[in-house]
A = this chain, B = another copy of it.
């Protein structure tokens, strides 16, 4: 299976039996976005479901729809290169040799685990479960270290998600730069997953990607187009050449190229969206605080809260057609994404009151 491996790296933290109507909560606590599984576990919930289980911007970038002719033919390599150029410019990366477009950062982080010949991996956590799963599947020894202890990590590969998911922990870029130098000196790598990097650009080390430092970026979360499957890896020329060799000449779709080439040069939309996400996250905090949740952290794309009866509240919200994200590593936690539009906010508000 491998599905629940993520939990094993937090000794003493899990697994935890949640008091839910169905034993299949593992499905909902491994990744977000599993509406079908939720609907089958809560068949009487009103529809449409409101999916707050991911950290995807509910207001997508107004990407141009891809032309029929572009979908029909193979993307020209010059178009894929222009996409990488636009993204690299937005990330502050100068050389296109250090950037490769991939069909989602999920595939990239998993394939990196097959390409880099390492024995030991240290992951600053708790964090996104795919990192541990990927390296363990590749045969590496994986340890979890607390985010605050990153500087003392001692492994061939060190992984930090910045800002971290789900708790929003912020690794200082200066510390990451030092760690990257140390990893380069030992012939290893620091991998910084900046999946939510657009909402905290001051933390980014993308422009430093190179010897000892690999940076992952995700398109779908901030731009609200997760179904398009687009991400980027920034790294030294050797790693980039390996990734290009593995993904081939047509790594991403015509739709991904069209969306990314429009979105990355659009700094004005990015600035407006950052401000708008900040306002919505603050509103969510007020709402959840009123409902008796304690704020743990997060970013403006998702917020992490705690409550002693979180598992009861998860089920109560789900019975009302609202899917949030439980964590088997801490049964007090629930993560909330941002509702899309006034009706969804109103439904969430009513449900939180009913579930208090």
Contacts and interface: CB of A to CB of B under 8 A. Distances in A.
B71 A227 contact: yes
Contact of A54 (B73, B114, B227, B252): B73
Give the bracket for the number of chain A residues in contact with chain B: 35 or more
Given A73-B227, A103-B229, A134-B245, 19 more contacts: A2-B245, A31-B249, A36-B79, A54-B74, A56-B73, A66-B227, A71-B228, A103-B103, A103-B107, A107-B247, A107-B248, A111-B111, A111-B114, A114-B115, A226-B250, A229-B250, A253-B253, A253-B255, A255-B255
Interface in A171-185: none
A133 to B, nearest CB: 8
Q: Which 6 residue pairs of A and B lie closest in terms of their CB atoms, listed nearest first?
A: A227-B254, A36-B78, A33-B74, A106-B248, A103-B103, A71-B227
Nearest to A81: B36
A136 to B, nearest CB: 10
A229 B252 CA distance: 7
B226 A104 contact: no
A75 interface: yes
Nearest to A253: B229
A268 to B, nearest CB: 21
A17 interface: no
Contacts of A76: 33-36
B33 A104 contact: no
Contacts of A103: 103, 107, 229, 251-253
Contacts of A229: 103, 250, 252-253
